Amino acid sequence: MKKILEIYKTAKAPVYSFEFFPPKTPEGETKLFEAVEELSKVDPGYITVTYGAGGSTRDKTIRITSELAKKFSLPAAAHFTCVGGNKDEIRVILKQIRESGIENLMALRGDPPKGEGTFKKVEGGFGYASELISFIKQEGFDFCMGAACYPEKHPEAPSLESDVDNLKRKVDSGASYLVSQLFFKNSNFESFLDLIRKKGINVPVIPGIMPITSFAQIERFKSMAACEFPEKLVSDLEEVKDIPEEFYKRSIQFSVGQCRELVELGAPGIHLYTLNQSPASLDIVRELKN
C-alpha cells in the first residue's frame, strides 16, 4: 500500500481523495462499496475511513479500510483516536492495523462517546493527538500519519493562535500531512495557511471540502464545525431550497469554484467528505479534472 505523503510528493496533478464512514448495517455496507466503486472511476489518490465517536467502530474501521484498499487497489488511511484506550490497548490495536496491511493513519484525539459532552482522558491513555502521534513513533510503527487542522480554529481552543501552537506539536511529533476541517470561505483558509507557515509548519495541508446537498445542512455544519458561510452562497441556495435539481446544480458549481481557487492557491489536493454518497463528490471531481 502506497504511503500518502509519497502520493503528494510524487503527484504531477492535484490529488483528489475521499472520506467515508463505517456503516451500521449490512445494507449500508453494500451501499458504501457501491459508492467507492463509482468514485474509483475518477482515479482518487487515496481514501480514508473514519472512527466512530468513542471508538465505537474500531474493528469495523480496520476491516473496511483493509477490504476497500484490496478490492479497489487504492491506498487507504484508517482513522485512529485516543478515545477509550490506554497505552497497552492502543499498542495492541496498532499491531492489528499494521498486520491488516494498512500503512496510513489519520491520528486524532477523537470525539467523546455519545452522550458525553466532553473528552475524558483514559487512565494510562492520551488526551491529545500530539501525544498519540508521539507514542506511535516511539513504539517504532512506520505508519504515515496525517492529522487534522482547523482553519477557523478547533471549537474547544481559546484562540486560533493557541490552536496553531497545538498543531505544531502534532507536526513536530510526527504528522506528515494535514487535512482540514470543512470550510466554505477560502479567505479563511488562506489566512490560516499564512499563519501556520509563519509558525514553521511546512507539511502538505489538504483542504477538506463538504458538498452541500440540502439547505438544512448549513445550520448543522455551522453548529458542528463553527464555520462561516459566504452570504451569497446561503442566499443563492435558500432561493432554490425546494427545487432539488437547481439546488444541486448551484451547490456543485460553488464547490467546483471553491476547489479550483484552492488549487490555484497551491493546495496539493482536495479531500472530499462524501457522507458515503458518490454523486456530488463524483460530479465535483469530474468537473475539476475536465
State how far the Cα of 64 lies from the Cα of 62, in Å rounded to an integer: 6
Catalytic residue among 19, 103, 131, 152, which? 19
List the grid coordinates of 107: 491520528
State how far the Cα of 130 lies from the Cα of 171, in Å rounded to an integer: 8
CB 149 within 8 A of CB 184: no
* CA 105 distance to own-chain centroid: 11
Neighbours of 214 (CB within 10 A): 13
Residue by residue, DSSP assigns the chain as ---HHHHHHH-SS-EEEEEE---SSHHHHHHHHHHHHHHGGG--SEEEE---GGGTTHHHHHHHHHHHHHHHT--EEEEEE-TT--HHHHHHHHHHHHHTT--EEEEE--PPPTT--S--PPTTS-SSHHHHHHHHHHTT---EEEEEE-TT--TT-S-HHHHHHHHHHHHHHT--EEEEEE-S-HHHHHHHHHHHHHTT--S-EEEEE----STHHHHHHHHHH-----HHHHHHHHHTTT-HHHHHHHHHHHHHHHHHHHHHTT-SEEEEE-TT--HHHHHHHHHHH-
19 classed as catalytic: yes
CB 207 within 8 A of CB 267: yes
Active-site amino acid positions: 19
